[in-house]
Amino acid sequence: MNVERVKYGVAAFSVDPLLTDLARAHSADMLANNYFSHTDNSGCSAQCRLQKAGYAYRSFGENLYMESGRALTPLEVATRIVSAWMQSASHRQNILNAQYTVSGVGIASSGTRLYATSLYALPR
């Protein structure tokens, strides 16, 4: 994602460990409970998850990705995810939003099923 941000004249994200943990947990939950949504099965949205974790932010965004049917290398996974997000106006807007300064990405997979969550934020 940082390659795309720099290409468009936007400063690279810094990795935020808490956002990374939250993104990993959401991807793992989607995989374990067989759903694909910004809101988990208990009704907790990305905003809810950030608040429960005590994450102080001014603004945030979230992108999701799901794929199944074939095994991919880590490089293939990263390339496919970023490519898909950059081809979608709303996902691209999150990636290129200069207001967001930090991000965290989490991936969960089993066999050929893969879920990815990326959180972006402007911390307080």
pLDDT above 90: residue 87: yes
Mean pLDDT of 91-103: 99
Q: Which CATH class name applies to 14-123?
A: alpha beta
- List the single range of 1-5, 73-77, 106-110 with lowest mean pLDDT: 73-77
**What is the pLDDT at residue 72?**
85
- Six-digit token pair at 120? 């972006």
**What is the pLDDT at residue 70?**
83
Q: What percent of the chain has pLDDT over 90?
A: 94
Measured distance CA(98)–CA(122) in Å, rounded: 9
Q: What is the 3-state secondary structure (H, E, C) of the chain?
A: CHHHHHHCCCCCCEECHHHHHHHHHHHHHHHHHCCCCCCCCCCCCHHHHHHHCCCCEEEEEEEEEEECCCCCCHHHHHHHHHHHHHCCHHHHHHHHCCCCCEEEEEEEEECCEEEEEEEEEEEC
Q: Would you kindly state where each structural domain of the chain is located, as residue ranges?
A: 14-123
pLDDT above 90: residue 8: yes
Instruction: Look over the chain and give the mean of its residue pLDDT values, rounded to a whole number.
Output: 97
Number of Cβ atoms within 10 Å of the Cβ of 76: 11
Mean pLDDT of 2-26: 98
**What is the pLDDT at residue 41?**
95
Q: What is the pLDDT of residues 58-84, one digit of tens each?
A: 999 999 999 998 888 889 999 999 999
pLDDT above 90: residue 29: yes
